[in-house]
Structure 1
Amino acid sequence: MQFGRLLTAMITPMTDRGAIDWPRVDSVIEHLIQNGTDSIVVAGTTGESPTLSHQEKLELFRHSVQRAGGRAKVIAGTGSNNTAASVQLTREAEEAGVDGVMLVVPYYNKPTQEGLYQHFKTVAESTSLPVMVYNIPGRSSVNLSVDTLVRLTHEVENITSIKESSGDLVSLMDLVERKRDGVAIYSGMDELLIPYLSIGSVGIVSVASHVAGREIKEMIEAFFAGEVEKSGAIQRRLIPLWRGLFMTASPAPLKYALSLLDVCEEHVRLPIVPLNQAEKTHMQTLLHTMQIT
């Protein structure tokens, strides 16, 4: 495994004026490393990538590599629905020193499976970095089929991992059986981590690890140590957290939770809006009840 078992889709801290809050970026990176994160995914959806400029993404890549200092690997979110733009950003990310790139399924323009194959192949072949393919039909509106994923893993050598967020466990089993040996599958869904691991995933690209990193790391380690009951008990205990972090548009709930933990501020960029007072009260109660401090 190139990237470890616990990967975190990192938020992008903002100031009250909507600029990137660089001191808080440092705080978040340190917080994640200290709480068990093996690799950090920068400028993904949780990092509010749709509202980050090209230049901001590059600055985040460079800054994160420098701050992590080899203590955690840095995976750059360079995918988009524009193949040429993804190629350019991927090449620049490689120059910035990242350890890998994550390419999301193109959204909005709804390509065919052949179009998806050609997109990922083209971007992957533009870099020598390991590539993680990210399937999330709930956001992209297009599902990357098992057949296409299998084809990509067998025909494009530097596609080395998959972040799978469809929630389709039957298709996941088919993928595990047919993919190229050595390609690592990561759950993209905190709430389904144990089911994904039981089928053949190696770990997770997590959102909740911002606030429960140690618990999620313990859950994964218990599973692979054969302590399945312990692992499942942790998964079930964290159910309210999974729900709370997505009670409204992400990453607003997560950023507010981290503000309560004094890791960053709650500020988000439009079209995401901060939590209302009722939602804030719910998050306060949730963290208190779960003894997350």
Structure 2
Amino acid sequence: MDFGRLITAMATPFDTAGAIDVPGVKTLVKHLLSTGTTAVVAAGTTGESPTLSHEEKLELFELTLRAADGQIPVIAGTASNDTRASIELSKEAEKLGVQGLLLVAPYYNRPSQDGLYAHFKAIAESVNIPVMLYNVPGRTGVNIDVSTILRLADIPNVTAVKEASGSMNQILQLAAKKPDDLLLYSGDDKLTIPMMCVGAYGVVSVAAHVVGEEMSKMIEAFVAGDVKTAAVWSGRLLPVFEALFATSSPGPLKAALKQMGLPGGSVRLPLVDAPEEIGALMERQLTRLGKVSIG
């Protein structure tokens, strides 16, 4: 399964009562489809997965699948810090028809590298669809070492890794040592082109919600060998990438979605909506790129 080069970690739209916005999911998926997204992650970090119940995650997977309508793959975020619960949700997601799983490292309980290996192995071997590992130690408190990722790459359906450690040492080692059939994705929009320069395949993006067409052009230019144009796009989009993380994500993203007339709603506690100054920063960046008009 080729998930393409521009995967979007989709926000979960909520209605005014704080429930999943059913028509909003369809609208957001259709927007992503029309602006270059090649696959979508449902219930990832950007989708506020820690605050979604088991039942809500299944509902979101089903809604996203229905909206995608086979046009792009749907990747389900099914992992937590409970291996048994992760296996159960992964099996249910597979039955619904998702085309892949995103498995974040267990958070809070900080397992050893052997524990990480056993956790991911147990989940991957419980299903028959592709698995993407997700390394984001800034959120989970534990790094998946390169040696552990390489061990996991021997499992047939472990086919990709979303690398968001921010460590160029880790990124360079992984890019150099990984097998060709393990696809490396940037987990940070601003590192997309730097990581592709050393062998990454693409990005699992937040910014694609609002600048998907521009990111598609950036990636297409790089793949075509026009590194200069790709670098120009990367620099032009950098302020947007940074604004989206000016406070706890996905607060700035949901502010941007509202400004663009797209569904998103508020974030769920313990997150709070982005403060006014961050919303204004986001609006200035979207105006600069012609996405919204102030006033």
TM-score by length of 2: 0.97
Q: Show CA shifts across 1:69-115 (max 9, x none).
A: 11110000001100000000000000010000010000000000000
Q: Is the 8 A contact 2:78 2:86 kept in 1?
A: yes
Aligned to 1:219: 218
Cα root mean square deviation, aligned = 1.0
**How far apart, CA to CA, are the structure 2 residues paired with 1:209 and 1:169?**
23
* 1:55 maps to 2:55: yes
Q: Is the 8 A contact 1:10 1:42 kept in 2?
A: yes
Q: Which amino acid aligns with 2:144?
A: L
Identical residues among aligned pairs (%): 49
**How far apart, CA to CA, are the structure 2 residues paired with 1:166 and 1:14?**
29
* 1:281 maps to 2:280: yes
Counterparts of 1:130-145 in structure 2 under 5 Å?
Answer: 130-145=130-145
Q: Show CA shifts across 1:22-75 (max 9, x none).
A: 111111000000000010000001000000000000011111111101111000
**How far apart, CA to CA, are the structure 1 residues paired with 2:178 and 2:277?**
45
Aligned to 1:146: 146
- Per the TM alignment, residue 242 of structure 1 is displaced from its structure 2 partner at its CA by 0.9
Aligned to 2:76: 76
Q: Which amino acid aligns with 2:190?
A: E
**How far apart, CA to CA, are the structure 1 residues paired with 2:275 and 2:221?**
37
Gaps of 5+ in 2: none
TM-score by length of 1: 0.97
Counterparts of 1:7-156 in structure 2 under 5 Å?
Answer: 7-154=7-154, 156=155
SS state at 2:153 partner: helix
Aligned to 1:170: 169
SS state at 1:84 partner: helix
**How far apart, CA to CA, are the structure 2 residues paired with 1:50 and 1:14?**
15
- Per the TM alignment, residue 176 of structure 1 is displaced from its structure 2 partner at its CA by 2.2
Aligned to 1:199: 198
SS state at 2:246 partner: coil
Gaps of 5+ in 1: none
Q: Is the 8 A contact 2:12 2:20 kept in 1?
A: yes
- Per the TM alignment, residue 274 of structure 1 is displaced from its structure 2 partner at its CA by 1.1
Q: Which amino acid aligns with 1:284?
A: E
